[in-house]
Amino acid sequence: MSGSSEELIDSAETICEEEPLYYSSDKVYTYSDYLELPDEECYYYEILDGCLIREPAPTKLHQRVSRRIQRILEDYFWQRDPNAEVFDSPIDLILSDTNVVQPDLVYAPEDSDDIDPHGITVIPHLVVEVISPSTGRKDRFEKLGVYSRARVPHYWIVDPRQQTLEAFRLAKPGEYHLCSNAEGNEVFTHPDFPGLAIQLDVLWRKGRL
> In this predicted structure, what is the pLDDT of residue 8?
30
Q: Of the candidates 106, 121, 103, which has an alpha carbon nearest to the alpha carbon of residue 31? A: 121
* Mean of pLDDT values over 110-115: 56
- What is the rounded end-to-end Cα distance, in angstroms, of the chain? 30
Note whether 93 and 120 are within 8 A (CB): yes
**CA 142 – CA 48 distance, rounded (Å):** 8
Please, is 54 exposed, middle or buried when counting C-beta atoms within 10 Å of its C-beta (0-12, 13-18, 19+)? middle
**CA 52 – CA 100 distance, rounded (Å):** 9
**Mean pLDDT score across all residues of the chain:** 86
- The 10s digit of each residue's pLDDT in 117-146 is 778 999 999 999 999 888 888 999 999 999
Could you tell me the CA-to-CA distances from 83 to 107, 108, 111, 146, 154 in Å, in that order?
A: 11, 9, 8, 26, 19
Q: What is the CA radius of gyration of the chain?
A: 17
**CA 29 – CA 44 distance, rounded (Å):** 15
Is the pLDDT at 88 greater than 70, yes or no?
yes
11 backbone dihedrals φ, ψ, rounded to 5°: -65, -45
**CA 13 – CA 9 distance, rounded (Å):** 6
Q: Please, what are the domains in the chain?
A: 59-204 (3.90.1570.10)
DSSP code, position 142: I
Q: Of the candidates 191, 86, 82, which has an alpha carbon nearest to the alpha carbon of residue 128? A: 86
- The 10s digit of each residue's pLDDT in 6-38 is 333 343 343 345 566 666 678 999 999 999 998
**CA 165 – CA 204 distance, rounded (Å):** 11
DSSP code, position 194: T
Q: How many CB atoms lie within 10 A of CB 58?
A: 21
How much is the pTM?
Answer: 0.86
> In this predicted structure, what is the pLDDT of residue 16?
41
Element housing 52 (H / E): strand 51-56
